Structure 1
Amino acid sequence: MGITVTAQALLFDMDGTLVDSTAAVERTWRRFAARHGLDPAAVLAGAHGQRTAETVAAHAPPGTDTAAETAWLVAQDIADTSGTVALPGAAELLAALPRGRWALVTSAGRELAERRMAAAGLPLPDVIVAAEDVRRGKPDPEGYLAAAGRLGVDPRATVVFEDAELGLRAGRAAGGWTVVVGPHGGGAARCRPRITDYRGAACSDSGDALRLTLPTRLPSMVPA
Protein backbone atom coordinates (compact mmCIF):
# COMPACT_ATOMS: atom_id res chain seq x y z
CA MET A 1 0.00 0.00 0.00
CA GLY A 2 1.11 3.56 -0.64
CA ILE A 3 0.07 7.03 -1.67
CA THR A 4 0.97 8.95 -4.81
CA VAL A 5 1.21 12.73 -5.00
CA THR A 6 2.44 15.22 -7.58
CA ALA A 7 4.79 18.09 -6.82
CA GLN A 8 7.09 20.56 -8.49
CA ALA A 9 9.97 19.84 -6.12
CA LEU A 10 10.98 17.83 -3.07
CA LEU A 11 12.59 19.59 -0.10
CA PHE A 12 14.53 17.57 2.47
CA ASP A 13 15.83 18.24 5.94
CA MET A 14 19.10 16.37 6.51
CA ASP A 15 19.77 15.00 10.01
CA GLY A 16 17.22 12.34 10.89
CA THR A 17 15.54 12.77 7.51
CA LEU A 18 18.10 11.70 4.91
CA VAL A 19 21.03 10.98 7.23
CA ASP A 20 21.17 9.16 10.56
CA SER A 21 23.82 11.15 12.42
CA THR A 22 22.42 10.47 15.89
CA ALA A 23 25.62 9.02 17.31
CA ALA A 24 27.79 11.93 16.17
CA VAL A 25 25.26 14.56 17.25
CA GLU A 26 24.97 13.05 20.72
CA ARG A 27 28.75 12.86 21.13
CA THR A 28 29.12 16.56 20.31
CA TRP A 29 26.37 17.80 22.60
CA ARG A 30 27.56 15.58 25.44
CA ARG A 31 30.99 17.22 25.13
CA PHE A 32 29.31 20.62 25.31
CA ALA A 33 27.28 19.60 28.35
CA ALA A 34 30.36 18.25 30.12
CA ARG A 35 32.30 21.48 29.46
CA HIS A 36 29.61 23.50 31.22
CA GLY A 37 28.26 21.12 33.84
CA LEU A 38 24.90 20.78 32.07
CA ASP A 39 22.45 17.91 31.92
CA PRO A 40 23.15 16.32 28.51
CA ALA A 41 19.62 14.96 28.23
CA ALA A 42 18.17 18.46 28.59
CA VAL A 43 20.55 19.85 25.98
CA LEU A 44 19.82 17.03 23.51
CA ALA A 45 16.07 17.39 24.00
CA GLY A 46 16.16 20.92 22.62
CA ALA A 47 18.89 20.54 20.01
CA HIS A 48 17.12 18.51 17.34
CA GLY A 49 16.17 20.55 14.30
CA GLN A 50 17.67 23.74 15.72
CA ARG A 51 20.75 25.64 14.60
CA THR A 52 23.82 25.14 16.80
CA ALA A 53 24.03 28.81 17.77
CA GLU A 54 20.44 28.80 18.98
CA THR A 55 20.97 25.70 21.12
CA VAL A 56 24.13 27.20 22.62
CA ALA A 57 22.30 30.42 23.43
CA ALA A 58 19.49 28.46 25.09
CA HIS A 59 21.73 26.38 27.36
CA ALA A 60 25.13 28.02 27.86
CA PRO A 61 25.76 29.49 31.33
CA PRO A 62 25.73 33.29 31.68
CA GLY A 63 28.98 34.86 30.53
CA THR A 64 29.73 32.19 27.94
CA ASP A 65 31.17 33.46 24.67
CA THR A 66 28.40 31.92 22.57
CA ALA A 67 30.06 32.71 19.23
CA ALA A 68 33.29 31.00 20.28
CA GLU A 69 31.38 28.06 21.75
CA THR A 70 29.35 27.67 18.57
CA ALA A 71 32.53 27.67 16.48
CA TRP A 72 34.04 25.01 18.76
CA LEU A 73 30.94 22.83 18.44
CA VAL A 74 30.83 23.17 14.66
CA ALA A 75 34.49 22.15 14.46
CA GLN A 76 33.72 19.12 16.62
CA ASP A 77 30.85 18.14 14.34
CA ILE A 78 32.88 18.55 11.15
CA ALA A 79 35.70 16.41 12.55
CA ASP A 80 33.41 13.60 13.75
CA THR A 81 31.18 11.87 11.22
CA SER A 82 31.78 8.36 12.53
CA GLY A 83 28.64 6.25 12.39
CA THR A 84 26.85 8.61 10.01
CA VAL A 85 24.76 6.61 7.52
CA ALA A 86 21.98 7.19 5.01
CA LEU A 87 18.43 6.20 5.85
CA PRO A 88 17.47 3.04 3.96
CA GLY A 89 16.29 3.83 0.45
CA ALA A 90 17.44 7.47 0.54
CA ALA A 91 20.25 7.00 -1.98
CA GLU A 92 17.95 5.27 -4.44
CA LEU A 93 15.26 7.96 -4.19
CA LEU A 94 17.72 10.84 -4.59
CA ALA A 95 19.32 9.13 -7.60
CA ALA A 96 15.92 9.12 -9.30
CA LEU A 97 15.41 12.88 -8.88
CA PRO A 98 16.39 15.47 -11.49
CA ARG A 99 19.00 17.78 -9.97
CA GLY A 100 16.85 20.88 -10.33
CA ARG A 101 13.85 19.30 -8.63
CA TRP A 102 15.12 18.86 -5.06
CA ALA A 103 16.88 20.80 -2.34
CA LEU A 104 18.42 20.36 1.08
CA VAL A 105 17.14 22.66 3.85
CA THR A 106 19.17 22.04 6.98
CA SER A 107 19.90 23.64 10.33
CA ALA A 108 23.49 22.45 9.95
CA GLY A 109 26.14 24.69 8.46
CA ARG A 110 27.06 24.15 4.82
CA GLU A 111 30.44 22.53 5.48
CA LEU A 112 28.92 20.14 8.00
CA ALA A 113 26.09 19.31 5.61
CA GLU A 114 28.58 18.48 2.89
CA ARG A 115 30.61 16.30 5.27
CA ARG A 116 27.62 14.36 6.60
CA MET A 117 26.07 13.79 3.18
CA ALA A 118 29.43 12.54 1.88
CA ALA A 119 29.90 10.29 4.92
CA ALA A 120 26.46 8.80 4.24
CA GLY A 121 27.23 8.31 0.55
CA LEU A 122 24.50 10.70 -0.60
CA PRO A 123 24.70 13.25 -3.43
CA LEU A 124 24.36 16.97 -2.93
CA PRO A 125 21.65 18.89 -4.80
CA ASP A 126 22.21 22.10 -6.70
CA VAL A 127 20.28 23.99 -4.01
CA ILE A 128 21.35 23.85 -0.37
CA VAL A 129 19.93 26.21 2.24
CA ALA A 130 22.09 25.84 5.33
CA ALA A 131 22.27 27.53 8.74
CA GLU A 132 24.30 30.51 7.53
CA ASP A 133 21.93 31.17 4.63
CA VAL A 134 18.97 32.28 6.75
CA ARG A 135 18.39 35.00 9.32
CA ARG A 136 15.85 32.92 11.23
CA GLY A 137 16.09 29.20 11.79
CA LYS A 138 13.29 26.65 11.93
CA PRO A 139 10.38 26.82 12.82
CA ASP A 140 10.53 29.99 10.71
CA PRO A 141 9.71 29.05 7.09
CA GLU A 142 12.52 31.21 5.67
CA GLY A 143 14.70 28.26 4.67
CA TYR A 144 11.97 26.38 2.85
CA LEU A 145 10.73 29.52 1.12
CA ALA A 146 14.29 30.29 0.00
CA ALA A 147 14.78 26.78 -1.36
CA ALA A 148 11.53 26.89 -3.33
CA GLY A 149 12.47 30.31 -4.68
CA ARG A 150 15.89 29.14 -5.83
CA LEU A 151 14.29 26.15 -7.56
CA GLY A 152 11.78 28.47 -9.22
CA VAL A 153 8.69 26.74 -7.84
CA ASP A 154 5.71 27.72 -5.71
CA PRO A 155 6.40 26.50 -2.15
CA ARG A 156 2.80 25.27 -2.04
CA ALA A 157 3.73 22.82 -4.81
CA THR A 158 6.52 21.18 -2.80
CA VAL A 159 6.72 18.08 -0.62
CA VAL A 160 8.73 18.66 2.56
CA PHE A 161 10.38 15.75 4.37
CA GLU A 162 11.12 16.38 8.06
CA ASP A 163 11.67 14.39 11.23
CA ALA A 164 11.45 17.06 13.98
CA GLU A 165 8.82 19.39 15.38
CA LEU A 166 10.60 22.62 14.43
CA GLY A 167 11.18 21.46 10.88
CA LEU A 168 7.64 20.21 10.37
CA ARG A 169 6.31 23.55 11.58
CA ALA A 170 8.65 25.36 9.19
CA GLY A 171 7.62 23.25 6.22
CA ARG A 172 3.93 23.73 6.91
CA ALA A 173 4.36 27.47 7.45
CA ALA A 174 6.04 27.67 4.03
CA GLY A 175 3.01 25.97 2.46
CA GLY A 176 4.67 22.64 1.71
CA TRP A 177 2.96 19.26 1.97
CA THR A 178 4.82 17.79 4.91
CA VAL A 179 5.79 14.15 5.37
CA VAL A 180 7.02 12.90 8.74
CA VAL A 181 10.14 10.73 8.58
CA GLY A 182 10.57 8.47 11.61
CA PRO A 183 8.81 8.29 14.96
CA HIS A 184 8.33 11.95 15.95
CA GLY A 185 4.93 12.38 17.57
CA GLY A 186 4.70 16.11 18.30
CA GLY A 187 1.78 18.34 17.40
CA ALA A 188 3.08 19.22 13.93
CA ALA A 189 3.16 15.51 13.05
CA ARG A 190 -0.50 14.96 13.89
CA CYS A 191 -2.52 13.63 10.96
CA ARG A 192 0.45 13.86 8.60
CA PRO A 193 1.57 11.02 6.32
CA ARG A 194 4.54 9.18 7.83
CA ILE A 195 7.32 6.97 6.54
CA THR A 196 9.91 4.99 8.48
CA ASP A 197 12.47 5.36 5.69
CA TYR A 198 12.52 5.50 1.88
CA ARG A 199 12.35 1.81 1.07
CA GLY A 200 9.52 1.41 -1.41
CA ALA A 201 9.50 5.11 -2.34
CA ALA A 202 9.63 5.98 -6.05
CA CYS A 203 9.62 9.15 -8.11
CA SER A 204 9.31 9.89 -11.80
CA ASP A 205 9.46 13.13 -13.74
CA SER A 206 6.78 13.81 -16.33
CA GLY A 207 8.43 17.07 -17.36
CA ASP A 208 5.62 19.12 -15.87
CA ALA A 209 5.72 17.61 -12.39
CA LEU A 210 7.19 14.92 -10.21
CA ARG A 211 5.07 11.89 -9.44
CA LEU A 212 6.03 10.63 -5.99
CA THR A 213 4.90 7.34 -4.47
CA LEU A 214 5.46 6.78 -0.75
CA PRO A 215 5.10 3.56 1.25
CA THR A 216 2.50 4.97 3.60
CA ARG A 217 -1.23 5.52 3.89
CA LEU A 218 -2.80 8.95 3.76
CA PRO A 219 -4.25 9.84 7.19
CA SER A 220 -8.01 10.21 7.44
CA MET A 221 -7.53 13.91 8.25
CA VAL A 222 -4.75 15.99 6.73
CA PRO A 223 -5.03 19.61 7.89
CA ALA A 224 -3.51 22.26 5.67
Structure 2
Amino acid sequence: MAIPAPAVPRTLTCRAVLFDMDGTLVDSTPVVEQVWSEFAARYGLDSAEILRTSHGVQAIDTVRRFAPPGADVEVLAAELGAMERVRTEGIVPLPGAAELLSILPGDAVALVTSADRALADIRMDAAGLAMPATVVTADLITHGKPHPEGYLRAAELLGVEPAEALVFEDAPAGIAAGLAAGIRTVAVGPNTGPLPNGVLHINDYSSVSATMETDAAGSRTISFLL
Protein backbone atom coordinates (compact mmCIF):
# COMPACT_ATOMS: atom_id res chain seq x y z
CA MET A 1 0.00 0.00 0.00
CA ALA A 2 1.36 3.41 -0.96
CA ILE A 3 1.67 5.86 1.90
CA PRO A 4 0.59 9.43 0.97
CA ALA A 5 3.38 11.97 1.25
CA PRO A 6 2.88 14.47 4.06
CA ALA A 7 1.42 17.79 2.99
CA VAL A 8 3.98 20.50 2.44
CA PRO A 9 3.34 23.47 4.76
CA ARG A 10 2.42 26.62 2.87
CA THR A 11 3.16 30.13 4.11
CA LEU A 12 1.26 33.28 3.14
CA THR A 13 2.20 36.72 4.44
CA CYS A 14 -0.12 39.71 4.59
CA ARG A 15 -0.92 42.90 6.48
CA ALA A 16 -4.67 42.34 6.88
CA VAL A 17 -7.06 39.38 6.96
CA LEU A 18 -10.60 39.43 5.57
CA PHE A 19 -12.97 36.65 6.58
CA ASP A 20 -16.32 35.67 5.15
CA MET A 21 -18.74 34.43 7.83
CA ASP A 22 -21.14 31.59 6.90
CA GLY A 23 -19.17 28.49 5.99
CA THR A 24 -15.87 30.26 6.65
CA LEU A 25 -15.90 31.17 10.34
CA VAL A 26 -19.36 29.93 11.26
CA ASP A 27 -20.89 26.59 10.28
CA SER A 28 -24.52 27.55 9.76
CA THR A 29 -25.25 25.17 6.89
CA PRO A 30 -28.08 23.23 8.60
CA VAL A 31 -29.89 26.47 9.50
CA VAL A 32 -29.39 27.99 6.06
CA GLU A 33 -30.67 24.89 4.29
CA GLN A 34 -33.64 24.56 6.64
CA VAL A 35 -34.73 28.18 6.17
CA TRP A 36 -34.35 28.18 2.39
CA SER A 37 -36.16 24.84 2.08
CA GLU A 38 -39.11 26.13 4.10
CA PHE A 39 -39.15 29.39 2.17
CA ALA A 40 -39.03 27.56 -1.16
CA ALA A 41 -41.86 25.23 -0.15
CA ARG A 42 -43.99 28.18 0.94
CA TYR A 43 -43.77 29.81 -2.49
CA GLY A 44 -43.45 26.74 -4.71
CA LEU A 45 -39.82 27.39 -5.60
CA ASP A 46 -37.07 24.94 -6.58
CA SER A 47 -35.30 24.41 -3.25
CA ALA A 48 -32.55 22.22 -4.72
CA GLU A 49 -31.57 24.87 -7.25
CA ILE A 50 -31.75 27.61 -4.63
CA LEU A 51 -29.45 25.70 -2.30
CA ARG A 52 -27.08 24.93 -5.15
CA THR A 53 -26.63 28.58 -6.12
CA SER A 54 -27.32 30.67 -2.99
CA HIS A 55 -24.22 30.03 -0.86
CA GLY A 56 -22.21 33.19 -0.40
CA VAL A 57 -24.74 35.38 -2.19
CA GLN A 58 -26.87 38.09 -0.60
CA ALA A 59 -30.31 36.73 0.25
CA ILE A 60 -32.09 39.48 -1.66
CA ASP A 61 -30.19 38.58 -4.83
CA THR A 62 -31.31 34.96 -4.52
CA VAL A 63 -34.89 36.02 -3.77
CA ARG A 64 -34.84 38.33 -6.79
CA ARG A 65 -33.64 35.48 -9.00
CA PHE A 66 -36.22 32.91 -7.88
CA ALA A 67 -39.23 34.95 -6.73
CA PRO A 68 -42.57 34.25 -8.43
CA PRO A 69 -43.49 36.73 -11.19
CA GLY A 70 -44.93 39.94 -9.77
CA ALA A 71 -43.76 39.22 -6.22
CA ASP A 72 -42.52 42.05 -4.02
CA VAL A 73 -38.86 41.09 -3.68
CA GLU A 74 -38.24 43.43 -0.76
CA VAL A 75 -41.14 41.96 1.22
CA LEU A 76 -40.05 38.39 0.53
CA ALA A 77 -36.45 39.16 1.48
CA ALA A 78 -37.63 40.72 4.74
CA GLU A 79 -39.73 37.64 5.44
CA LEU A 80 -36.73 35.39 4.81
CA GLY A 81 -34.55 37.56 7.05
CA ALA A 82 -37.04 37.29 9.89
CA MET A 83 -36.92 33.50 9.56
CA GLU A 84 -33.13 33.47 9.62
CA ARG A 85 -32.80 35.66 12.69
CA VAL A 86 -34.68 33.26 14.96
CA ARG A 87 -32.83 30.09 13.89
CA THR A 88 -29.57 29.53 15.77
CA GLU A 89 -29.70 25.91 16.87
CA GLY A 90 -26.71 23.98 15.57
CA ILE A 91 -24.64 27.02 14.63
CA VAL A 92 -21.02 26.35 15.60
CA PRO A 93 -17.60 27.81 14.80
CA LEU A 94 -15.36 26.05 12.32
CA PRO A 95 -12.60 24.10 14.08
CA GLY A 96 -9.79 26.43 15.06
CA ALA A 97 -11.66 29.62 14.11
CA ALA A 98 -11.98 30.99 17.65
CA GLU A 99 -8.33 30.32 18.43
CA LEU A 100 -7.16 31.96 15.22
CA LEU A 101 -9.29 35.07 15.71
CA SER A 102 -8.03 35.42 19.29
CA ILE A 103 -4.39 35.77 18.23
CA LEU A 104 -4.81 38.06 15.23
CA PRO A 105 -4.40 41.83 15.72
CA GLY A 106 -7.85 43.36 15.98
CA ASP A 107 -6.95 46.29 13.75
CA ALA A 108 -5.90 43.95 10.94
CA VAL A 109 -9.05 41.82 10.72
CA ALA A 110 -12.39 42.40 8.97
CA LEU A 111 -15.55 40.39 8.49
CA VAL A 112 -17.06 40.66 4.99
CA THR A 113 -20.40 38.88 4.83
CA SER A 114 -23.45 38.68 2.60
CA ALA A 115 -25.60 38.77 5.74
CA ASP A 116 -26.94 42.03 7.12
CA ARG A 117 -25.53 43.34 10.40
CA ALA A 118 -28.34 41.99 12.57
CA LEU A 119 -27.95 38.46 11.23
CA ALA A 120 -24.15 38.64 11.39
CA ASP A 121 -24.31 39.60 15.07
CA ILE A 122 -26.73 36.76 15.81
CA ARG A 123 -24.71 34.07 14.06
CA MET A 124 -21.31 35.14 15.37
CA ASP A 125 -22.76 35.25 18.89
CA ALA A 126 -24.42 31.85 18.46
CA ALA A 127 -21.06 30.41 17.40
CA GLY A 128 -19.31 32.05 20.37
CA LEU A 129 -17.04 34.13 18.15
CA ALA A 130 -16.04 37.72 18.86
CA MET A 131 -17.14 40.16 16.18
CA PRO A 132 -14.18 41.95 14.55
CA ALA A 133 -14.09 45.71 14.95
CA THR A 134 -14.27 46.15 11.17
CA VAL A 135 -17.37 44.64 9.58
CA VAL A 136 -18.73 45.02 6.05
CA THR A 137 -22.25 43.63 5.83
CA ALA A 138 -24.84 43.50 3.06
CA ASP A 139 -26.52 46.70 4.23
CA LEU A 140 -23.30 48.70 3.79
CA ILE A 141 -22.63 47.97 0.12
CA THR A 142 -24.43 48.30 -3.20
CA HIS A 143 -23.18 45.18 -4.95
CA GLY A 144 -23.03 41.77 -3.28
CA LYS A 145 -20.65 38.92 -3.98
CA PRO A 146 -19.32 37.90 -6.51
CA HIS A 147 -18.80 41.65 -6.96
CA PRO A 148 -15.59 42.75 -5.20
CA GLU A 149 -17.09 45.84 -3.52
CA GLY A 150 -17.26 44.34 -0.03
CA TYR A 151 -13.67 43.17 0.02
CA LEU A 152 -12.36 46.38 -1.48
CA ARG A 153 -14.28 48.36 1.17
CA ALA A 154 -12.82 46.23 3.96
CA ALA A 155 -9.26 46.64 2.69
CA GLU A 156 -9.80 50.39 2.51
CA LEU A 157 -11.17 50.51 6.06
CA LEU A 158 -8.13 48.60 7.33
CA GLY A 159 -5.78 50.92 5.44
CA VAL A 160 -4.17 48.32 3.20
CA GLU A 161 -3.87 47.77 -0.52
CA PRO A 162 -5.68 44.70 -1.89
CA ALA A 163 -2.36 43.02 -2.67
CA GLU A 164 -1.41 43.32 1.02
CA ALA A 165 -4.51 41.49 2.26
CA LEU A 166 -5.64 37.87 2.46
CA VAL A 167 -9.20 36.56 2.09
CA PHE A 168 -10.64 33.38 3.60
CA GLU A 169 -13.81 32.23 1.77
CA ASP A 170 -15.91 29.11 1.40
CA ALA A 171 -18.30 29.69 -1.53
CA PRO A 172 -17.67 30.15 -5.25
CA ALA A 173 -19.29 33.62 -5.23
CA GLY A 174 -17.08 34.77 -2.35
CA ILE A 175 -13.93 33.30 -3.84
CA ALA A 176 -14.71 35.10 -7.08
CA ALA A 177 -15.26 38.34 -5.14
CA GLY A 178 -11.90 38.08 -3.37
CA LEU A 179 -10.05 37.40 -6.60
CA ALA A 180 -11.89 40.17 -8.44
CA ALA A 181 -10.73 42.55 -5.71
CA GLY A 182 -7.13 41.57 -6.44
CA ILE A 183 -6.75 39.86 -3.06
CA ARG A 184 -5.08 36.49 -2.52
CA THR A 185 -7.82 34.11 -1.49
CA VAL A 186 -7.79 30.88 0.52
CA ALA A 187 -10.71 28.48 0.03
CA VAL A 188 -12.19 26.92 3.16
CA GLY A 189 -14.25 23.76 3.58
CA PRO A 190 -16.09 21.39 1.26
CA ASN A 191 -18.35 23.75 -0.72
CA THR A 192 -15.84 25.79 -2.71
CA GLY A 193 -16.50 24.24 -6.11
CA PRO A 194 -13.65 23.95 -8.62
CA LEU A 195 -10.86 26.27 -7.54
CA PRO A 196 -9.17 28.81 -9.81
CA ASN A 197 -5.47 28.40 -10.36
CA GLY A 198 -3.39 29.55 -7.41
CA VAL A 199 -6.17 29.37 -4.82
CA LEU A 200 -5.07 27.29 -1.84
CA HIS A 201 -7.54 25.14 0.10
CA ILE A 202 -7.89 24.26 3.77
CA ASN A 203 -10.51 22.09 5.45
CA ASP A 204 -10.71 24.36 8.52
CA TYR A 205 -8.35 26.24 10.83
CA SER A 206 -7.33 23.36 13.08
CA SER A 207 -3.90 23.16 11.43
CA VAL A 208 -3.51 26.85 10.65
CA SER A 209 -1.09 28.98 12.66
CA ALA A 210 -0.27 32.67 12.50
CA THR A 211 2.68 34.75 13.66
CA MET A 212 3.11 38.51 13.71
CA GLU A 213 6.30 40.49 13.08
CA THR A 214 7.00 44.22 13.15
CA ASP A 215 9.97 45.64 11.26
CA ALA A 216 12.18 48.57 12.25
CA ALA A 217 9.86 51.00 10.46
CA GLY A 218 6.90 49.78 12.51
CA SER A 219 5.23 47.92 9.67
CA ARG A 220 3.51 44.73 10.88
CA THR A 221 3.10 41.56 8.87
CA ILE A 222 1.08 38.43 9.57
CA SER A 223 2.40 35.07 8.38
CA PHE A 224 0.02 32.15 8.04
CA LEU A 225 1.24 28.58 7.99
CA LEU A 226 -1.46 26.57 6.23
Give the TM-score normalised by structure 1: 0.92
Cα deviation for residue 111 of structure 1 reads 0.7
Does residue 81 (structure 1) correspond to residue 88 (structure 2)? The answer is: yes
Q: Distance in 1 between the 2:195 and 2:145 partners?
A: 13
Q: In the alignment, what sits opposite 1:27?
A: 34
Aligned-residue offset at 1:183: 2.3
Q: Hey, what's the Cα distance between the residues in 2 that align with 1:99 and 1:14?
A: 16
Match of 1:212 in 2: 223
Q: 1:182 aligns with which of 185, 189, 206?
A: 189
Aligned to 2:5: none
Kindly state the Cα deviation for residue 188 of structure 1 after the two structures are TM-superposed: 4.4
Distance in 2, matches of 1:187 and 1:87, equals 21
The 5-angstrom pairing of residues 27-106 of structure 1 reads 27-106=34-113
Map 1:136-147 onto structure 2 (within 5 A). 136-147=143-154
- C-alpha offsets along residues 143-172 of structure 1, whole Å, 9 cap, x if unaligned? 000000000111111110011111111101
Matched, 1:151 2:162: no
Deviations 1:192-214 (CA, angstroms, capped at 9, x unpaired):
21100001211122132333333
Unaligned 5+ segments in structure 2 are: 1-7
Residues 161/185 of structure 1: CA separation in 2 closer, same or farther (3 Å cut): closer
Deviates most, 190-199 or 49-58: 190-199
Q: Provide the alpha-carbon RMSD of the alignment.
A: 1.3
Distance (Å, rounded) in 2 between the aligned partners of 1:44 and 1:53: 14
CA distance in 2, matches of 1:2, 1:209: 22
Higher radius of gyration, 1 or 2: 2
Partner of 2:3: none
Deviating runs (4+, > 6 A) in structure 1? none
Question: How many residue pairs get matched?
Answer: 215
CA distance in 2 between partners of 1:46 and 1:4 (Å) = 32
Partner of 2:124: 117
Amino acid at match of 1:175: G
- Mapped to 2, the partners of 1:41 and 1:82 lie a distance apart of 22
Please give the TM-score of this superposition, normalised by the length of structure 2.
0.91
Tell me, in whole angstroms, the C-alpha distance in 1 between the residues paired with 2:221 and 2:190. Answer: 26
After superposition, give the CA deviation of every residue in 1:31-61 in whole Å (9 maximum; x if it has no partner): 1101111221111111101101000000011
Alpha-carbon shift at residue 133 of structure 1 (Å): 0.8
One-letter amino acid matched to 1:180: A
